[in-house]
Copies of this chain bind each other. A is one copy, B any other.
Amino acid sequence: MDLNRYSPNNLKRPSKGLINIHPIQRGGILTEEARKILLEWADGYSVCDVCLEGRVDLLRNPPVDELKQDVAEFLGMDTARFTAGARHAKFAVMSAFQRGTLVLDSLAHYTSYTSAELNDMRVFEVPNSGYPDFRVDPEMYAETFERVREETGSYPDLALLTHVDYRYGNLADAERVGKICEEYEVLFVLNTAYSSGVMEVNGKKLRTAFIVASGHKSWAATAPIGILATNYELSDRVFRTSKMRGDWSGRAFTKKELAVFGCSPVFGLPVMTLMASFPGVVERVKHWNEEIEKARWFVREMEKIEGVQLIGERPKNHTLMHFESPAFHSIAKKHRKRGYFLYHELKKRGVFGVQAGMTKNFKVNIYGLSWEDLDKVVSAFKDIAENYGVEVED
């Protein structure tokens, strides 16, 4: 066993000191406030010092109970729980509909599918429009509901929409899907892993039954922490408590909520960093328009490079984006580093996060970058292009 490889000196982050445009990293960068409390709350179960009720969401010191209610209000919902990531939140919802039927958009994150599979749900996909914009037409939810009824005899139990998908960064029309779900009386699950926490999301307006969110993706928290918000009518069903009784001891655990493993495993830093970042998050969602402005400027600049083309909806409504770049791909074919050349050339220029090996297509996320850093990123791409003889418009 070579334990030396785990020495702190050998555990440097690959992106250290670089501008990180990795698609999943931007919304999870801690606020200064979260950084300030790191050392204080880093040990194991730190928040459980004065736990009296045996559930992290009921803690008053630190104020997790208050945070839970404030987060629910912020999302336009009645109540919420923290979970071990958005994936755990989706599992929790679906565990209350085991062996039922789920409709989801075909751009959904893999954890939407695997949560359904783990709960033996039957899954029906809502098509997307395919290349090049990959849009999900809300009306197709109605059509898919009808198809489900034909095949199973009844409408689905749940309809999940990925608010912003991880492949193209398209912003789906959640309001329209919400209205359709309401008409069909199908419970609407909105996965906001890339939206709430960076942009405003209001469940009342969108008619959601459940909102799933990701703290480490979009609420400036350490991993793992997700949010599952719901309404009072559904709360008892999804946050159902234990009914078991020990056959010899008579022990019972009537306060423990099954779907979050009794007491949700977010004690310690995940919930504390989400808490410390929360005031900053409440503020930052008001400035989403500036982020969109930057995203659209970024697309215009990137498309000045010969052959580079945005894939997904136009204009951009999110900071996560997907480009095609046949010119970089042609370079890769002849380059001694092959597809890795782009990764290395970017790194040389202080930019990190385009997946190593990718040149034909790549994804980036520019959320929260200053105009200055954004300009550095654009200049890096343009400079690489020019160095390899690819044309760049003025």
**Chain A residues within CB distance 8 Å of chain B:** 1-8, 11-16, 20, 22, 24-25, 27-30, 33-46, 48-50, 52, 54, 61-63, 66-67, 70, 73-74, 84-85, 87-88, 91, 95, 106, 110-111, 113-118, 123-127, 215-217, 220-224, 226, 242-244, 246-249, 251, 253, 256, 258-259, 261-262, 265-270, 272-273, 275-276, 278-279, 282, 352-353, 355-357
Contacts and interface: CB of A to CB of B under 8 A. Distances in A.
Nearest to A124: B247
Contacts of A110: 54, 242, 251, 253, 256, 262
Contacts of A111: 261-262
Given A115-B261, A266-B224, A123 B244 contact: yes
Contact of A127 (B20, B44, B248): B248
Given A20-B49, A28-B43, 9 more contacts: A2-B66, A30-B42, A44-B215, A84-B85, A113-B244, A113-B246, A113-B253, A117-B244, A222-B268
B50 A29 contact: no
Contact of A84 (B50, B88, B117): B88
A282 B220 CA distance: 33
A114 B270 contact: no
A37 B6 CA distance: 11
B248 A44 contact: no
Nearest to A43: B29
B40 A11 contact: yes
A249 B44 contact: no
A123 B37 contact: no
Contact of A40 (B12, B33, B45, B91): B12
A268 B118 contact: no
B45 A355 contact: no
A239 to B, nearest CB: 13
A25 B43 contact: yes
Given A24-B44, A272-B11, A114 B262 contact: yes
Nearest to A109: B262
Nearest to A87: B261
A223 B13 contact: no
A341 B20 CA distance: 52
B44 A216 contact: yes
Would you list the 9 A-B pairs with minimal beta carbon distance, nearest first? Answer: A28-B44, A223-B268, A224-B265, A84-B84, A44-B216, A85-B265, A125-B248, A87-B261, A3-B279
Given A15-B49, A118-B259, A258-B114, A44 B29 contact: yes
